[in-house]
A = this chain, B = another copy of it.
Amino acid sequence: MDQLLPCVASLRLVDHHCHGVLGTDLDRDGFESNLTEAGSRSPLGTSLFDSSLGLAVRRWCAPLLDLPPLAPADEYLARRRSLGAAEVNRTLVSAAEISTFLVDRGTWPEGFAGPGTFTGSREHLVLRLERLAEDVVTEGATGFPARVREVLDSSPAVAAKSIAAYRVGLELDPARPSDADVVAAADRWLTSGSTRCADEVISRFLVWEALDRGLPVQFHVGYGDADLSLHKCDPLLLTDLLRATAPLGVPIMLLHNYPFHRNAGYLAQVFPHVFVDVGLATHAVAHQARRVLTEALEIVPFGKFLFSTDAFALAELYYLGAVFFRRALSDFLSAGLREHALAQADAERIAHLIGWENAQRAYRLE
């Protein structure tokens, strides 16, 4: 990392949104299916190693497994299997040099482990709101609101996470629903026979209840898998809800945001409680991350921007998320230094804000 600004190379990172690490070995199909939001390689396309992310795995992760940079995909995968998932996970997650993880445990298949397992780093819990609802709705509609509140009251989580984007889209009604509305919605849900929380009333009930308890709420925004309809995941669709919740003074974190990251930056500027990141996109666009990060930083105050990897399953994604974030941030600051748009002390202060201070302040981490 010789090109990195020293203040970025040694920057403490709080990853304010990530998932668990898969503990089992993967064949080529299994590995490739984690390089895309599609779920698997298309028979009409070619290998997913032919993508920004695929190249990045060969370029950056191969050397950590004692292979030359850009080693062929099959060699990389063979080496990965011969070392075994446990060793690979330890090596790659450690190399990310992330000091603190906020871990969304909402999707946690058999064999997943928190990234802190491999590094000794501190982990904080992010409570998935839809999962909470799915867990307690089965006990009946009538007591549903009370049971949601009870879980939230006793949860050790430092934040809640909403995947309304995947379930109902982000155009949420700004009004706090009444308990009667919520019970009616829960009743409809139970009657439908579905186990999946996909009701707009319940989505915003969950958000309001979390905010009421001072729990920052993370929203999945933008780019994600084919389950969502991306035009319903523009952060601007949250505008009315953001306006309604601003008086509570509890942070709302817009996650990922690609390709709507400029829209997200606008929201972070005009709403006092809105923070944003470009997690997921950072490793997905890989060596092109500088452009995405700098676009995102155009109008957002630097006190409102966070680091996250949104890494899921592959240890590679924690490492690449951190590598490309550091490189993009360093490039952004270096360019500013080069044209005298900022001073060395400014670069250092901005790096610290974005790397960890904003997360520490917004989530009240000790």
A residues near B (Cβ < 8 Å) are: 36-38, 40, 42-48, 50-52, 54-56, 59, 69-70, 223, 225-226, 229-231, 234, 236-237, 239-240, 243, 249, 251, 258-259, 262-263, 266-267, 269-273, 275, 281, 284-288, 291-292, 294-295, 297-304, 336, 339-343, 346, 349-350, 353, 358, 361-362
Question: Of all chain B residues, which has the CB nearest A53?
Answer: B299
Cβ–Cβ < 8 Å partners of A346 in chain B: 55, 70
- Select the residue from A51, A229, A336 with max chain B CB neighbours within 10 A: A51
On whether the beta carbons of B270 and A301 are closer than 8 Å, the reply is no
CA distance A36 to B226 in the complex (A): 36
Cross-interface CB contact of A52 among B236, B298, B361, cutoff 8 Å: B298
Cβ–Cβ < 8 Å partners of A362 in chain B: 44
CA distance A269 to B297 in the complex (A): 25
- Select the residue from A52, A269, A292, A350 with max chain B CB neighbours within 10 A: A269
The minimal Cβ–Cβ distance linking A72 to chain B, given in whole angstroms, is: 9
Cross-interface CB contact of A298 among B47, B230, B266, B288, cutoff 8 Å: B288
On whether the beta carbons of A44 and B249 are closer than 8 Å, the reply is yes
In the A-B complex, list the 7 residue pairs whose CB atoms are closest, starting with the nearest.
A46-B303, A42-B272, A45-B303, A259-B262, A231-B236, A287-B341, A226-B270
The minimal Cβ–Cβ distance linking A261 to chain B, given in whole angstroms, is: 9
Question: Of all chain B residues, which has the CB nearest A295?
Answer: B291
CA distance A231 to B264 in the complex (A): 11
Q: Given A44-B361, A50-B302, A303-B45, A269 and B38 touching (CB < 8 A)?
A: yes
CA distance A237 to B231 in the complex (A): 7
Question: Of all chain B residues, which has the CB nearest A280?
Answer: B299
Q: Given A299-B284, A342-B55, A44 and B273 touching (CB < 8 A)?
A: yes
CA distance A56 to B59 in the complex (A): 37
On whether the beta carbons of B36 and A301 are closer than 8 Å, the reply is yes
- Select the residue from A239, A298, A342, A358 with max chain B CB neighbours within 10 A: A298
The minimal Cβ–Cβ distance linking A265 to chain B, given in whole angstroms, is: 8
Q: Given A237-B231, A341-B287, A301 and B46 touching (CB < 8 A)?
A: yes
The minimal Cβ–Cβ distance linking A67 to chain B, given in whole angstroms, is: 13
The minimal Cβ–Cβ distance linking A266 to chain B, given in whole angstroms, is: 6
Cβ–Cβ < 8 Å partners of A303 in chain B: 42, 45-47, 50
CA distance A270 to B243 in the complex (A): 32
Cβ–Cβ < 8 Å partners of A288 in chain B: 294, 297-298
CA distance A238 to B38 in the complex (A): 17
Question: Of all chain B residues, which has the CB nearest A298?
Answer: B285
The minimal Cβ–Cβ distance linking A80 to chain B, given in whole angstroms, is: 19
A-B contacts, 5 listed (Cβ < 8 Å): A47-B303, A50-B353, A226-B271, A258-B262, A258-B299
Question: Of all chain B residues, which has the CB nearest A304?
Answer: B45
Question: Of all chain B residues, which has the CB nearest A268?
Answer: B45
CA distance A266 to B258 in the complex (A): 10
Cβ–Cβ < 8 Å partners of A361 in chain B: 44
The minimal Cβ–Cβ distance linking A284 to chain B, given in whole angstroms, is: 5
On whether the beta carbons of B229 and A239 are closer than 8 Å, the reply is yes
Cβ–Cβ < 8 Å partners of A240 in chain B: 229
On whether the beta carbons of B350 and A50 are closer than 8 Å, the reply is yes
Cβ–Cβ < 8 Å partners of A350 in chain B: 50
The minimal Cβ–Cβ distance linking A158 to chain B, given in whole angstroms, is: 15
On whether the beta carbons of B301 and A45 are closer than 8 Å, the reply is yes
The minimal Cβ–Cβ distance linking A153 to chain B, given in whole angstroms, is: 23
Cross-interface CB contact of A55 among B230, B237, B258, B341, cutoff 8 Å: B341
